[in-house]
Structure 1
């Protein structure tokens, strides 16, 4: 075959000339069924620019935004200066050794995630394709579930909110349980906590009927004993999954819980190292594994984790919010699953990004434009970064 018989894409190197991160504290005002609550959420935006003028934007959240921004600006930026942004695998591996040389995770995983997302945004723009197509283009839309049920809602308000979201076309709903029950300053009698949680979930089930999927999330706030008790109480509810039921995503306790209940178990959204997902899979600790591109080391690592899940015939889903970044992973891969349309997180994104898609009837259509398909509002980003105290401590 003569090479002149075909057109070849000549993808020139995209040398990095600038990397910058902005830490932000953003006030998010949640208003539903007559209830209004403002909460501060933290986030960090990362911009990478190449010598050709292509700019990619990465993002991370649910962390100490100042620490992550400092890691990007003072450690990652000089490390990647002059590197070819297209070489995402090589850059990810180097950053992994720079930031997590002995298997640590924590803030390093968030910082790598923000940089990696920006690089994939650049790569897709340079190739002229949407990011989800670059990742494999398995589907043009993804199913979403709506996270709506928070502890500040009374049971009556929770039921009204559930009905509201179902009326808007949402057939998959997630609510939080356990609050911050295990944390010292919020510590409560766990028996009372789980009884109250069970009553709240059952009330929502009675209100929306059996045709709506219900998921719950304990955010790693329960010990194994009370996680098991709550799961058994809620077996008749036919939950879609019980997310992060036990402290620290303890693999041994998750595995035991999964064997002792019919409720499906999900976890992984806050893990930073691939071996943690390996352990969850090998120990048969989860029914659904939840890598999050904004937390779990970006697209580079989440694609690997999704491959492991496929080899174990285990479903993947987005947990931990940030649907507009995670939708690309789940649309790109053949084993992609549910994407979390976390209401407060979406409200945050709407304040700093433009061009965000809106789900219709429980489905989110992927953008057709190259890269991520949406853009940061840099005036808003700069304002939130300049005024971090405007909304409290930012650790909501």
Structure 2
């Protein structure tokens, strides 16, 4: 079997609520989902999810190759774009191709990817994560009540702009999850919105009021000294890594003991996750992939000996996609469909109209000018407005 071509598509996910974080919010609750379909001369098609804008640059490294050699092809793609291959849309496109190749490899074996990768169990432990910074307190409780009904004992909220609000919402989510456990695992993700001058002080204020399992991206992703300072001062773990790409970006953080929960971005692909997981395992650290549409990296997480927990962001799927998995019992139950278990209804995609969301060049996920430069973390003039006040960060930042 050889790779003969590719096609790029887009669909949309209707979340049914505003979604976002400290950097901005998609008020419509509709976000774009890029798809990459890799074709073969045997009629099988591989499905990859994530950015594919550089597909025309990447495909010459893939064309004519046998998809079973997926890890070798991954390195071939990196070599083909070595000047820019470990960053941005180039690395994202490599990840989408990589995902599609793993999908093909498992389809050729007529088995789900989790079996191809050597996992013994189809269940992947998860934690609930609602991208929820724009929700009011009652809406937040309603959302996590649904997660509790699916057996979840851990949850992550978005915050960083108002510590009093964050503490109140963490307590509210904990109360909901106590239907399943007396000691829920709570996480707070501030998405790099704190500066090093704030992070230790603000985290201490939160930890004095409620126990959290980890603080996520307290400072910039590459700030080794800053992450280490937070890790040394905190009772909770520091989690980071979803926006790091090549292994060379992880090594300084791990060498400095500046991260305790190593995260990976799902959109960077299967091979990236496996290599980061191995690197973390060599440092006796757990790995935790962030969520994405269809939870494709969950297949690899099931096979990682140091997998801690996978972020689960929603129980619905994008328009035109059917995913062979169930969100239940506090995690993801993977199915038996070959490959990633993702099928695409292209007729449904063809009927879609253009939508707004994170893919817009103007945002809303454009880092605010004041991020990392606020003196306080509270809503109001000079601090940056909370999205729940009826604005996005894009609208409040010049």
* TM-score normalised by L of structure 2: 0.80
Q: Which residue of 1 aligns with 2:278?
A: 307
**Structure 2: gaps spanning 5 or more residues:** 20-25, 365-398
Q: After the TM superposition, which of the residue ranges 235-244 and 95-104 deviates more from structure 2?
A: 95-104
* Displacement after TM superposition at 1:300 (Å): 1.7
What is the root-mean-square deviation of aligned Cα atoms in Å? 2.6
Q: Within 5 A, what are the aligned runs for 1:294-373?
A: 294-295=267-268, 298-322=269-293, 324-343=295-314, 346-347=315-316, 349-373=317-341
Alpha-carbon spacing, 1:256–1:196, altered in 2? closer, same or farther (3 Å)? same
Q: Which residue of 2 aligns with 1:93?
A: 75
Establish whether residue 374 from structure 1 lines up as the match of residue 342 from structure 2: yes
* Displacement after TM superposition at 1:147 (Å): 0.7
Tell me if structure 1 keeps the 8 A contact 2:241–2:264.
Answer: yes
* Displacement after TM superposition at 1:207 (Å): 5.4
Residues 373-396 of structure 1: per-residue CA shift (max 9 Å, x gap): 221222233344xx3346696556
Matched residue count: 352
Alpha-carbon spacing, 1:290–1:59, altered in 2? closer, same or farther (3 Å)? same
* Displacement after TM superposition at 1:69 (Å): 3.1
Q: Which residue of 2 aligns with 1:49?
A: 39
* Displacement after TM superposition at 1:323 (Å): 5.5
Tell me if structure 2 keeps the 8 A contact 1:138–1:333.
Answer: no
* TM-score normalised by L of structure 1: 0.81
SS of aligned partner of 2:16: strand
* Displacement after TM superposition at 1:177 (Å): 0.6
* Displacement after TM superposition at 1:337 (Å): 2.5
Q: Which residue of 2 aligns with 1:71?
A: 54
Q: Which residue of 2 aligns with 1:241?
A: 214
SS of aligned partner of 1:313: coil
Aligned counterparts of 2:97 and 2:261: Cα–Cα separation in 1? 26
Aligned counterparts of 1:167 and 1:211: Cα–Cα separation in 2? 16
* Displacement after TM superposition at 1:98 (Å): 2.5
Aligned counterparts of 2:167 and 2:14: Cα–Cα separation in 1? 30
SS of aligned partner of 1:70: coil
Aligned counterparts of 1:45 and 1:335: Cα–Cα separation in 2? 29
**Structure 1: gaps spanning 5 or more residues:** 1-13, 61-67, 182-192
Residues 162-182 of structure 1: per-residue CA shift (max 9 Å, x gap): 34432443221111012xx5x
Alpha-carbon spacing, 1:389–1:155, altered in 2? closer, same or farther (3 Å)? closer
Q: Which residue of 1 aligns with 2:154?
A: 172
Alpha-carbon spacing, 1:357–1:152, altered in 2? closer, same or farther (3 Å)? same
* Displacement after TM superposition at 1:37 (Å): 5.8
Q: After the TM superposition, which of the residue ranges 269-278 and 155-164 deviates more from structure 2?
A: 155-164
Aligned counterparts of 1:57 and 1:276: Cα–Cα separation in 2? 27
Aligned counterparts of 1:392 and 1:85: Cα–Cα separation in 2? 31
Tell me if structure 1 keeps the 8 A contact 2:156–2:188.
Answer: yes
Tell me if structure 1 keeps the 8 A contact 2:18–2:132.
Answer: no
Residues 332-353 of structure 1: per-residue CA shift (max 9 Å, x gap): 222223111112xx54x34231
Establish whether residue 201 from structure 1 lines up as the match of residue 170 from structure 2: yes
Q: Which residue of 2 aligns with 1:185?
A: none
Establish whether residue 161 from structure 1 lines up as the match of residue 143 from structure 2: yes
Residues 124-159 of structure 1: per-residue CA shift (max 9 Å, x gap): 111222111111214221111111261212234324
Q: After the TM superposition, which of the residue ranges 155-164 and 51-60 deviates more from structure 2?
A: 155-164
